């Protein structure tokens, strides 16, 4: 009798677990096969996988991280990786760029292209962007913040304000003698921060 109750208990438990597993599988599979754009479909699949591993708990908070929320940390990690003097000014750079609706990664990428992230600049100029450096002289700034402000305002007015928003379009005025390598370099550095 004891043996029969053990077998019966095992059989009921196994069938219950199987039924729950099948219901979950079909429910998740139905969610994962929703016909969406390829990128959105990947996000749905990742969300389904995430929920399968981390089930929802009543009363638990849920949140979503947007790519834009990660940009300041991505920039800090990038500047730290290259030991840039701009690192302590990363938040200032991000806020200044965003105040003019410019992707902060563009500023960092231009600084990487022009000065190896401020490691190769004219003495005491704080000019990491090659801003105003030409045959008649070199534009200098009193601080990195002043330089960031000048570059952001200049990009916003003279480039973005004229519809020049990509590295290729910016290059035509920023460094007109470039054979295209400037734009390719800036884009490569932007891509590294994505």
Q: What is the pLDDT of residues 108-146, one digit of tens each?
A: 999 999 999 999 999 899 999 999 877 677 789 999 999
Q: What is the pLDDT of residue 8?
A: 57
Report how far residue 151's alpha carbon sits from residue 141's, in angstroms, rounded to the nearest whole number: 11
Q: Which two tokens stand for residue 53?
A: 């591993």
Q: What is the pLDDT of residue 18?
A: 58
Q: What is the pLDDT of residue 49?
A: 45
Contact indicator for 85, 93 with CB cutoff of 8 Å: no
Q: Is 101 left (phi over 0), alpha (psi -120 to 50) or beta?
A: left
- Which pTM was predicted? 0.66
Report how far residue 32's alpha carbon sits from residue 35's, in angstroms, rounded to the nearest whole number: 9
Q: Where are the domains of the chain?
A: 2-53, 67-192
Domain 67-192 fold is Lysozyme (1.10.530)
pLDDT in tens, the chain (194 residues): 666 666 556 655 666 555 565 555 555 444 444 434 444 444 444 444 444 455 555 665 655 555 568 999 999 999 999 999 999 999 999 999 999 999 999 999 999 999 999 999 998 999 999 998 776 777 899 999 999 999 999 999 999 999 999 999 999 999 999 999 999 999 999 999 99
Contact indicator for 173, 160 with CB cutoff of 8 Å: no
Q: What is the pLDDT of residue 159?
A: 97
Q: What is the pLDDT of residue 64?
A: 56
Q: Which of 168, 171, 149 is nearest to 102 (CA)?
A: 149
Residue at token pair 């599988």? 25
Q: What is the pLDDT of residue 39?
A: 44
The helix (H) or strand (E) run that includes residue 82 is: none
């Amino acid at each position: 009798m004891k043996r029969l109750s053990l077998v019966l208990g095992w059989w009921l438990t196994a069938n219950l677990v199987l039924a729950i597993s099948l219901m979950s599988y079909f429910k998740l599979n139905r969610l994962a096969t929703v016909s969406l754009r390829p990128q959105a479909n990947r996000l749905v699949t990742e969300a389904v996988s995430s929920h399968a591993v981390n089930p929802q708990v009543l009363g638990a908070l849920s949140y979503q991280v947007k790519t834009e929320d990660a940009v300041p940390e991505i920039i800090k990690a990038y500047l730290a990786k290259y030991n840039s003097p701009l690192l302590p000014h990363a938040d200032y750079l991000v806020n200044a760029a965003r105040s003019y609706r410019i992707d902060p990664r563009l500023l960092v990428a231009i600084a990487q292209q022009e000065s190896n992230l401020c490691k190769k600049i004219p003495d005491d100029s704080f000019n990491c962007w090659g801003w105003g450096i030409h045959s008649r002289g070199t534009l200098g700034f009193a601080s990195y913040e002043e330089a960031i402000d000048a570059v952001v305002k200049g990009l916003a007015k003279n480039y973005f304000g004229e519809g020049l928003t990509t590295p290729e379009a910016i290059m035509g005025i920023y460094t007109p003698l470039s054979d295209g390598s400037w734009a390719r370099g800036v884009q490569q550095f932007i891509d590294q921060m994505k």
